[in-house]
Amino acid sequence: MLANQLFDIKSIHDSYKKGVTPKDIVTEVYNRIKKVNDDGIFIHLQAIEDIFAQISSLEEMNLSEKPLWGIPFTVKDNIDVEGIPTTAACPAYEYIAKEDAFIVKVLKQAGAICIGKTNLDQFATGLVGIRTPYGAPKNALDEKIIPGGSSCGSAVAVSHQLFSFSLGTDTAGSGRIPAALNNLVGLKPTLGAFSKRGVVPACLTVDTVSVFALNIEDAYDIFEIASKHDEKDPYSKKRPKNKYKDTQNVVVAIPNSKSQIFIDDEIQRKSYQETISLIKEKGFKTIEIDLKPFFEVAQLLYEGTWLAERYTVIGDMIKNQPADILDITRTLIQKAETFSASDVYRDIYRFNELKKEIEPVLEQFDILCLPSMPRVASVKEIEDDPIKANSRLGIYTNFVNLLDLSAIAIPVNKREDGFAGGVTIIANAFEELKLAKFAKYIQKDMSLTYGNSDVEVKLSDDDTFGVSYDEIEVAVVGAHLRGMPLNKDLIKLNARFLYEAKTTPNYKLFKLQGEEILKPGLIQDENGVSIDLEVWAMPIENLGEFERTIPKPLCIGSIELENKKTVKGFLCEPSGLIGAVDISNFGGWKAFLNSKKN
């Protein structure tokens, strides 16, 4: 029944509004898992009966309270889910999680349904996705190509549209390389934006949970929902206020010719250069920079003493149970035994020197646009040269977390050989909104598909995103609508348009009397109709000032929308209806004004 159901968040919610149930969606998830028939995707998959039991407690859909209501997702198996084993792809390491990881708990509270846990490069050590004793998942686009790691199962699962989104982790590119290799969006947030409590660390100080999604809107919405400060996580950070910048005015940095490294893959070079040409054609100012100090930072992560941080996680196993760890994993991390304390400090000193050198470069631009990887690697290539071939994949990714930058890997037009094209865009810490807006803007003129399907990605015409954590949704029905006299009051308070909507069919709209500027009044009435309105995002700190501009009989109250959300918005007190004219039959204020003109 749902074989053609798109699995992006909006499409699933639209189906729910038409009568599809969470049980229907979950059933389709398991049907698709069976059809894909790839045993390498999951390490633990919950029984469908257990998921049915979980969703039986879901209350009626209310997207204001639970914006991920009924949305299926999965997590990498180094992230705890209560009652399910965590292995980090090492059977001897297995334990049963006593509680959900903080981020899993937040997503469940938002209404999402966790179905299972996915495969990974053992202990999140690798960018290839085939360093696992559980059997590697197959790349969703081409089985001859590696799936990418370490978050291989999470990426492959979303590319097959088994889920709307998934969680991975990212230390050196594990949330970006698999996205690029499976035609997905991979959002790697600022360090500390997502809690790491309940996540098995790789390098604790430079790890983050990451998001795989089918489109940029879903990835950013998950970021907004999941980036909650965790008082019990010493690495969790409180998000600063979002900085809004006109998308078209950003300065884009690209690597100079010496820094553009494509290892025996001219098709990859051509794909990247075509994307840069498109960016320039859209009128963006671009500058070229030398990535040499960035590359040197990248080398410190895997070739320097940061390996000792990985050793803190499994050092005892390496000493006491070496046979329980894959040879490749043990060989890489065991190097830490050769480091001295003075070696660690020398690398810290060198890192700070490089960081100082890089800081003025970062000030020259808003966004850095890089290839997601220097080449597309085959499974055979990695099997023949497992260490060198892996390390080459991280040329453009390894430095990002050490420098505390935010990044999103995004699909672009397909390469000329038909394989997925992709770039990664990078900005300063907590500039995920800037990245998302830019990504969406440049993708508008591209021919993109969802994951491994042939279904075209449809993007909205604007570059707006959902409400941010420091904003509140405000519905307007009259003089504050776009193009109306008081819309300037919203703009002045840094509000931004989100979407057009309708109320539930139990409201009435009246033309009020005695106003210098024509205004309507909205009331709730069980014999009413649906009324057109607009929803705007307003900084919470400005809501009080906005309310002070609203004269009686108007007030701010709660308005129920047709899309199952409840938002704050303009209502009218009963006293304002004396002498007012019922104009509900027009369905909205603009329709009423247009009728007067005609």
Whole-Å CA distances, 402 to 70, 351, 365: 36, 9, 19
pLDDT of residue 144: 98
Answer yes or no: do 435 and 498 share one domain: no
pLDDT of residue 463: 59
The amino acid at 122: Q
Q: Which of 15, 150, 271, 584 is catalytic?
A: 150
* Strand-by-strand arrangement of the 532-539 sheet: 496-502, 532-539, 471-476, 566-572, 554-560
CA distance 261 to 103: 36
pLDDT of residue 462: 63
Q: 555 in a domain, yes or no?
A: yes
Q: 107 in a domain, yes or no?
A: yes
Q: Is 174 known to be catalytic?
A: yes
CA distance 15 to 9: 10
SS3 percent helix, strand, coil of the chain, rounded to 5, is 35, 20, 45
The CATH code of the domain that includes 165 is 3.90.1300.10
Q: 96 in a domain, yes or no?
A: yes
Answer yes or no: do 137 and 217 share one domain: yes
**486 CB-near residues (< 8 Å, 6+ apart):** 479, 480, 517
**144 CB-near residues (< 8 Å, 6+ apart):** 378, 379, 380
The CATH code of the domain that includes 559 is 3.10.490.10
- Residue 565: CB atoms within 10 Å: 18
Q: Is 285 known to be catalytic?
A: no
Which residues, listed in sequence order, are joined to residue 570 by a DSSP beta bridge? 556
pLDDT of residue 57: 86
Answer yes or no: do 486 and 421 share one domain: no
Q: 559 in a domain, yes or no?
A: yes
Answer yes or no: do 419 and 365 share one domain: yes
pLDDT of residue 220: 96
Q: Of the candidates 443, 458, 479, which is a domain's last residue?
A: 443
The domain tally of the chain equals: 2
Answer yes or no: do 70 and 28 share one domain: yes
Q: 461 in a domain, yes or no?
A: no
Q: Which of 15, 151, 166, 174 is catalytic?
A: 174
Answer yes or no: do 430 and 493 share one domain: no
pLDDT of residue 246: 63
Q: Of the candidates 424, 443, 462, which is a domain's last residue?
A: 443
Q: Of the candidates 423, 443, 463, which is a domain's last residue?
A: 443
485-498: pLDDT as tens digits: 999 999 999 898 88
Answer yes or no: do 50 and 187 share one domain: yes
Q: At what angle do helices 266-281 and 432-443 cross, to 10 degrees?
A: 90
- DSSP codes joined into one string, 533-594: EEEEEEEGGGHHHHHHT--TTEEEEEEEBTTS-EEEEEEE-GGGGTT-EE-GGGSSHHHHHH
Cis ω for the linkage preceding 553 (within 30 of 0): yes
- Residue 581: CB atoms within 10 Å: 12
Answer yes or no: do 243 and 182 share one domain: yes
Answer yes or no: do 60 and 196 share one domain: yes
Q: Which residues in the chain land under pLDDT 50?
A: none
Answer yes or no: do 439 and 490 share one domain: no
Q: 362 in a domain, yes or no?
A: yes
Cis ω for the linkage preceding 195 (within 30 of 0): no
Residue with tokens 């918005």: 569
pLDDT of residue 469: 80
Report whether 213 contacts 185 (CB < 8 A). Answer: yes
Q: 2 in a domain, yes or no?
A: no
Q: Which of 15, 66, 76, 519 is catalytic?
A: 76
Q: Is 447 known to be catalytic?
A: no
Burial class (CB in 10 A: 0-12, 13-18, 19+), 49: exposed
3-state secondary structure of 137: coil
Q: Which domain holds residue 115?
A: 9-293+357-443
pLDDT of residue 205: 97
- DSSP codes joined into one string, 222-257: HHHHH----TT-TT--PPPPPPP--GGG-EEEEE-G
195-246: pLDDT as tens digits: 999 999 999 999 999 999 999 999 999 999 999 999 999 999 999 987 655 6
pLDDT of residue 468: 79
Answer yes or no: do 409 and 488 share one domain: no
Q: 463 in a domain, yes or no?
A: no
274: tokens are 């075509």
Answer yes or no: do 526 and 380 share one domain: no
